[in-house]
Amino acid sequence: MRHPSRVFLVGPMGSGKSTIGKQLAAALGLGFQDSDHEIQRRTGVDIPTIFAFEGEAGFRAREKSVIDALTAFDGQVLATGGGAILDPDNRRVLSSRGIVIYLHCSPEQQHRRTSHDRNRPLLQTDDPLQRLRDLMAVRDPLYREAADFVVSTEKRSAASVVKEIVRLLEERGRGDP
C-alpha cells in the first residue's frame, strides 16, 4: 500500500504529536521531524529561553520559518508545535504540502499529560487547566480547518492511534471516503 510522503501532525500540547509521530513514521517507513526540536537545534536554547528573550512573537516567527523549511521535504512525518496553527501561512503550507492530521484531546487530558513539564511557557500560570481550555477554544477551529483527518488521542495508547491513522491513510490511498 502506497502511503503519502508527507504527514503533518497538528494539535494541542500534550495530544501526543511527538510520541505518535515517531511511531507513525516507523509504521509508514518515513523519517520523523519535530518543529519544536528543530527550533531548539537551530537556536541552541530551549523554548522557554526563546520565549523569555524574544516573547511569543519571536518564537512564532522562528516557528514559521522552520515549518516552511521542514514541510518541503518528502518522506517524513512532522510534529508541529501546538500554536503553529495560529499563523494562516502555516495552515496554508501544511494543508498544501501534505496530509494534515489533527490529534485531538480534551484540555483535562492535556493537563494530566503536561502538569509536570516545565518546558511549556504558556502553562506557567496560576491556573494551567483554564489556560488549556482558553487555548483550545481559540485553536480547535483552526486545527479542524487545516486537517484532512481528526483523530482522538483521549485515553488511548499511541499504538492504537497509529493504527487508526494508518488505516485512514490506506483508505484515502484507495480512494475510499
Q: How far is the C-alpha of 115 from the C-alpha of 129, rounded, in Å?
A: 9
pLDDT of residue 176: 46
Chain segment 110-144, per-residue pLDDT in tens: 888 777 666 665 667 778 888 889 999 999 999 99
Encode 13-57 in three state secondary structure.
CCCCHHHHHHHHHHHHCCEEEEHHHHHHHHHCCCHHHHHHHHHHH
pLDDT beyond 50 at 177: no
pLDDT band at 96 (very low <50, low <70, confident <90, very high): very high
pTM attached to this predicted model: 0.91
Lowest average pLDDT, out of 73-77, 126-130, 165-169, goes to: 126-130
Grid cell at residue 162: 497509529
Q: How far apart are CA 72 and CA 86, in angstroms?
A: 20
Compare 126 and 80 and report the one with higher pLDDT.
Answer: 80
For domain 6-174, give the CATH number.
3.40.50.300
What pLDDT is attached to residue 168? 95
Read off the pLDDT band of 172 (50, 70, 90).
confident
Band of pLDDT at residue 24, cut at 50, 70 and 90: very high
Instruction: Give how far Cα 81 sits from Cα of 1, 88, 114, 167, 176, Å.
Output: 29, 14, 14, 24, 30
Tell me how far apart the alpha carbons of residues 104 and 144 are, in angstroms, rounded to a whole number: 10
Q: Report the pLDDT value the prediction gives residue 118, as an integer from 0 to 100.
A: 66
* Sequence spans of domains, the chain: 6-174
- Burial environment of residue 103 by CB neighbours within 10 A (0 to 12, 13 to 18, 19 or more): buried
Q: Is 95 helix (H, G, I), strand (E, B) or coil?
A: helix
On average, the pLDDT of the chain sits at 90
Residue 114 burial by CB count (10 A; 0-12/13-18/19+): exposed, middle or buried? Answer: buried
DSSP conformation class of 11: -
